Amino acid sequence: MQIPPSELILNKDGSIYHLNLLPKDIATTIITVGDPDRVSEVSKNFDSIDIKKGKREFVTHTGVLNGKRISVISTGIGTDNIDIVLNELDALVNIDFATRTVKENRIRLKIVRIGTSGAIQPEISIGSFLMSEYAIGFDGLLHFYQHSFVHHQQLEDAFIEHTQWAKEKARPYIVDFDADLAVKLMDNRIRLGFTATNTGFYGPQGRELRIAPSQAGIMSKMTSFNHANKRITNLEMETSGIYVLAKLLGHQAVSLNCILANRVTGEFSKQPEKAVQELIQLTLAKLTS
């Protein structure tokens, strides 16, 4: 069945609408970063770069490192942007743009997020690296798609009860990483964690400037949550969206977090750029080894 132009939107040059990319422009191993300026911080480590394209907050560099082709793309902040990026990356490899039909032989992407995050457990040190084994999403993105895979409902129910989650908010959903890709990326410098993906930076993460959050004490409730020895370790704004869409579309995904802040101790990194660059180099070494 042909996908109509209103659903699969292409630019005049045949590239996908938001990312401004052609199918040949991306590798099957893709690093995502939030900040467009961080794309060059990754690609400067490549041996060569053959593609540099951008549109809005979506900047893509594709090149080669140690004989392996890799793409790095900026997503901007939030799961709304992740919805665009993951769907369009999948379309680039699994939809024939000429016929507007889904290909029979599907390509499975390896997607690795390199992002910054704030810890909510006091023992997680500033500058450390954390791999999201689980992600709990407060954004509701999962509920807009048909899905049959098991998201951890018992754990979700326990979290909702513990935090007295407001009924007018989207039901939290919990998704795990791709274990096979995680093995390739694991290192003794990386700890496993349970990441909370928030819909914003201020109220949704319990910060108060001039507007009080709707649920007082939500941060302390998240910090104290413990079910079957699973505790929430850190907060950010993309991981759950990456995990859920990767699973729905049949791709592999892992989120790596550089801990720059600790909300419990009140600390913030004095050398954030150095810590992020170390995580970038570690990730590239793992992907190309």
Per-residue pLDDT of the chain (289 residues), as tens digits, is: 899 999 999 999 999 999 999 999 999 999 999 999 999 999 999 999 999 999 999 999 999 999 999 999 999 999 999 999 999 999 999 999 999 999 999 999 999 999 999 999 999 999 999 999 999 999 999 999 998 776 688 999 999 999 999 999 999 999 999 999 999 999 999 999 999 999 999 988 888 899 988 888 888 999 999 999 999 999 999 999 999 999 999 999 999 999 999 999 999 999 999 999 999 999 999 999 8
CB burial of 51-69 (b: ≥16 within 10 Å; e: otherwise) equals bebbeebbbbbbbebeeeb
φ and ψ at residue 60, rounded to 5 degrees: -130, 130
Helix axes 36-43 and 272-288, enclosed angle (nearest 10): 50
Q: What pLDDT was estimated at residue 150?
A: 60
Token digits for 147? 């899905």
> 63 and 51 in contact (C-beta within 8 Å)?
yes
pTM of the model: 0.95
